[in-house]
Amino acid sequence: MKTTQTPAPVPAESGAPVTKEDTPPGPPPKPKKEGTVLNVFSHGVLVIWAFMVVMPLLWAVMTSFKDDRSIFSSPWSLPDTLHFDNWSRAWTEANMSDYFLNTVLVVGGSLIGTLVLGSMAAYVLARFDFPGNRFIYFLFIGGMSFPIMLALVPLFYVVNNMGLLNTIHGLILVYIAYSLPFTVFFLTAFFRTLPTSIAEAAFVDGASHSRTFFQIMLPMAKPGLISVGIFNFLGQWNQYMLPTVLNTDPDKRVLTQGLVQLAVSQGYKGDWSGLFAGLVMAMLPVLAAYIVFQRQVVQGLTAGALK
């Protein structure tokens, strides 16, 4: 197995020149080529896909600075002048500022609620034996694979009867409820990996169960909370189906809904440049946050699937 320091004996691999005396017997020149060809080929496909990902986004940014006429006549030309008025029009007249505010309120409330309630339930399920523990755990987990739309039909009337339809706090409660399955699943696994000795020591010293949880266990669970927090933040910020069904009041719209409505109404008004400005406005904060917190975001989003 120990071949790492002798580069040459791995013919199929080497794109680097096979050098000097230690050249082994074995198929010489052709494999060398395979390495180079493969390298060129792999860069080729990777670059093409990178282009396909970036071009639509760049196109949107570019279009958001153009006037309506050039959007239609030459979709790929650069803007002649930078029409920043598109952006201010979208922000004020097209109500993007309201949509942002609503989204921040809803996501802020539901993110905190999800983390608090989710970690409480997960802690109890992970650390305490009691009749019904497994049942409750699987009840939560089951929610991950069920089609949400099935529940949304009666849920609409449940929420309506409680007077929570078209309210920010109603939406927050629903977001929390639908974020719990993954959060509980993830955090239960996380709490199980934490050592028990510290919590037991705290308990022996006279700390109550809830004090042990809030002062000892939660700080220890911070990495897990960050991962699942990022996961929920993106999921809730980008949520489209729940607000479409449960939040039909134009004044309460969140960002995704607002943009889609804008697209429908701009079809009549014809303010496409303003719409593109709104679209880019909604994309940029998330993309910027992702680039800054790249490592954490990737960890948070892939954590669940790697378990």
Partner 1 sequence: MQHGKYRFIVGFLALPLGLYALFVVWPFIQSIYYSFTDWTGLSPEFKMVGFDNYSRMLDDEIFWKSLQHSLLFALLLPVVTISLALFFAFMINVGGRKRRNGPVVTGVRGSSFYKIVYFFPQVLSIAIVALLFAFAYNPDSGAINSILRGIGLDDVQPLWLGDPDLALWAVMAVLVWSTVGFFVVLFSAGMASIPAEMYEAALLDGAGRATTFFRVTLPLLWDTVQSGWVYMGILALGAESFAVVQIMTTGPGGPDYSTTVMVLYVYQKAFRDGQAAYATTIGVALLVVTLAFAAVVMRLGRRERLEY
| Footprint on residues 268-307 left by partner 1 (CB under 8 A) | 272, 276, 279, 282-283, 286-287, 289-291, 294, 297-298, 301-302, 305-306
Binders of partner 1 among 46-65, rule CB under 8 A? 46, 49-50, 52-57, 59-60, 63
Residue type, 44: G
Q: Shortest distance, CB of residue 215 to partner 1, whole angstroms? A: 15
- Candidates 78, 92, 101, 146; binder of partner 1 (CB under 8 A) is 146
CB 119 within 8 Å of CB 190: no
Q: What phi, psi does 20 have (nearest 5°)?
A: 50, -160
Question: How far apart are alpha carbons 154 and 99 in whole angstroms?
Answer: 27
Q: Which stretch binds partner 1 (CB under 8 A): 81-89, 90-98, 104-112, 204-212?
A: 204-212
3-state secondary structure of 167: coil
| Contact flags string 183-202 toward partner 1, x per CB under 8 A | -x---------------x--
Start-end of H helices in 64-167? 68-73, 85-92, 96-127, 133-142, 148-161
Q: How far is residue 304's CA from residue 62's CA, in Å, rounded to a whole number?
A: 36
Q: Are the CB atoms for 281 and 86 separated by under 8 Å?
A: no
Q: How far is the CB of 155 from partner 1 (least distance, A)?
A: 4
User: Which residue, 89 or 155, has its beta carbon nearer to partner 1?
Assistant: 155
Smallest distance, Å, CB 113 to partner 1?
A: 9
138 binds partner 1 (CB under 8 A): no
Of 100 and 156, CB closest to partner 1: 156
Selection from 183, 182, 174, 185 nearest residue 137 by Cα: 185
Interface with partner 1 in residues 77-116 (CB under 8 A): none
**Pick from 23, 28, 33, 75: which binds partner 1 (CB under 8 A)?**
75
Looking at beta carbons only, is 89 or 297 nearer to partner 1?
297
Under DSSP, is residue 80 helix (H, G, I), strand (E, B) or coil? coil
Distance of alpha carbon 178 from its chain centroid, rounded? 15
220-249 residues near partner 1, rule: CB under 8 A = 234, 237-241, 244-245
Reported as half-sphere exposure (CB side, CA atoms, 13 A), residue 69 has a value of: 2
Q: What is the C-alpha to C-alpha distance for residues 196 and 300, in angstroms, rounded to an integer?
A: 25
Question: Binder to partner 1 among 78, 104, 112, 148 (CB under 8 A)?
Answer: 148
As a whole number of angstroms, the distance between CA 244 and CA 253 comes to: 9
**From 82-90, 91-99, 180-188, 216-224, span contacting partner 1 (CB under 8 A):** 180-188
Amino acid, single-letter form, for residue 283: M
How many residues bind partner 1 (CB under 8 A)? The answer is 114
